[in-house]
């Protein structure tokens, strides 16, 4: 098989570093892409294109790149013929409605007849239609948050993560149009060879994602509490139990998922576990 898979990632911006890191965590070396359009991985048949995020859905639809990493916000706004393959857990943000800090907004009906500035006209139009509200949409490509201050709009719909940009511009977030994260997308007509490569890459991506959501836990337990402690641990199969040099004690190793983590740690302590070590997992293959 000598075909290569090509992936489009953002050239610079909020998705760039996490996209490159994901590939690195998958064991794929990406040489520095700054000021380059294209590079190749040494150790996986992958070409990497660096593009503006807005252009990625089109390039993937056209098959210039086989796959791409883009925010769901861009994917849904551009509405191209591409397939979403896997949410990636980074680039999390909200596409939100914001109005002046002193404005009232009880529901989307407050937008009736208003002027809304946004870079996401398609998603805003859909949102307004769903809420049966009619408003004027003003499409602007950057610095949407200054539009109300200069009298260009009454409200905006823009991406928000912490809300500090809104705050600095005298605005407040009042409604969420879409919750978004980065997603892997693919062209609809990949060859069988390319699909095989994509499967190999996806296997790695899923292992990295799983590892991030789990921690490896090691602890010491007095043997008379062992059964109770083991019953608290989920583990991939059952936990590993090894005798300690000190008689009457064992070392217990297991895997705990991030969302159960603090609960279980508290219960383990209460059950008599000591010397609890929590270690990040690099890859998790199941």
Could you list the beta-strand ranges (E) of 187-267.
214-222, 240-243, 249-257
Among 8, 74, 76, 190, binds ligand ATP (CB under 6 A): 74
Among 7, 59, 67, 73, binds ligand ATP (CB under 6 A): 73
How far apart are alpha carbons 267 and 8 in whole angstroms?
45
Q: Is 54 in the site for Zn ion (CB under 5 A)?
A: yes
Q: Is 53 in the site for Zn ion (CB under 5 A)?
A: yes
Smallest separation, CB 50 to Zn ion (Å): 13
How far apart are alpha carbons 120 and 137 in whole angstroms?
9
Q: What share of the chain is helix, strand, coil (3-state, %, to 5)?
A: 35, 30, 35
Query: Which range in 47-55, 194-202, 219-227, 231-239 contacts ligand ATP by CB under 6 A?
Result: 47-55
Q: Is 71 in the site for ligand ATP (CB under 6 A)?
A: yes
Q: Is 53 in the site for ligand ATP (CB under 6 A)?
A: yes
How far apart are alpha carbons 249 and 270 in whole angstroms?
17
Q: Are the beta carbons of 111 and 155 closer than 8 angstroms?
A: yes
Non-local (6+) Cβ contacts of 193 within 8 A are 1, 3
Half-sphere exposure of 96 (CA within 13 A, CB side): 20
Per-position x/- string for 6-45, each x denoting binding to ligand ATP as judged by CB under 6 A, each - no binding:
----x--xxx------------------------------
Smallest separation, CB 120 to ligand ATP (Å): 10
For residue 5, what is the DSSP state? Answer: E
**Nearer to ligand ATP by C-beta: 147 or 219?**
147
**Nearer to Zn ion by C-beta: 53 or 77?**
53
Per-position x/- string for 105-144, each x denoting binding to ligand ATP as judged by CB under 6 A, each - no binding:
----------------------------------------
Q: Which residues pair with 99 in a beta bridge?
A: 155, 172
Where along the sequence are the contacts to ligand ATP (CB under 6 A)?
10, 13-15, 52-54, 71, 73-74, 91, 93, 159-161, 180
């Amino acid at each position: 098989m000598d075909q290569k898979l090509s992936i489009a990632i953002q050239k610079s911006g909020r998705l760039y570093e996490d996209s490159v890191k994901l590939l690195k965590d998958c064991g794929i070396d990406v040489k520095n892409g700054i000021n380059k359009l294209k590079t190749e991985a040494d150790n996986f048949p992958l070409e990497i294109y660096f593009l503006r995020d807005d252009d990625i859905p089109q390039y993937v639809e056209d098959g210039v790149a086989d796959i791409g990493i883009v925010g769901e916000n861009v994917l849904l706004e551009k509405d191209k013929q591409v397939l979403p393959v896997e949410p990636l857990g980074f680039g999390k943000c909200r596409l939100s409605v914001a109005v002046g800090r002193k404005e009232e907004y009880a529901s989307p009906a407050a937008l009736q007849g208003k002027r809304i500035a946004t870079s996401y006209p398609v998603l805003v139009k859909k949102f307004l239609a769903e809420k049966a509200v009619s408003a004027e949409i003003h499409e602007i490509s950057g610095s949407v948050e200054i539009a109300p201050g200069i009298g260009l709009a009454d409200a905006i719909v823009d991406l928000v993560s912490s809300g500090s940009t809104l705050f600095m511009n005298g605005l407040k977030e009042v409604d969420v149009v879409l919750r978004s994260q980065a997603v892997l997308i693919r062209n609809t007509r990949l060859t069988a060879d390319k699909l095989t490569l994509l499967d190999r890459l996806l296997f790695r991506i899923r292992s990295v994602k799983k590892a991030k959501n789990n921690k490896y836990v090691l602890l010491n337990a007095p043997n008379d509490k062992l059964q109770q402690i083991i019953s608290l641990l989920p583990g991939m199969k059952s936990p590993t139990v090894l005798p300690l040099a000190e008689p009457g004690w064992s070392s217990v190793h297991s895997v705990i998922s991030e969302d159960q983590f603090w609960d279980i740690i508290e219960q383990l302590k209460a059950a008599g576990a000591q010397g609890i070590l929590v270690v990040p997992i690099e890859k998790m293959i199941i």
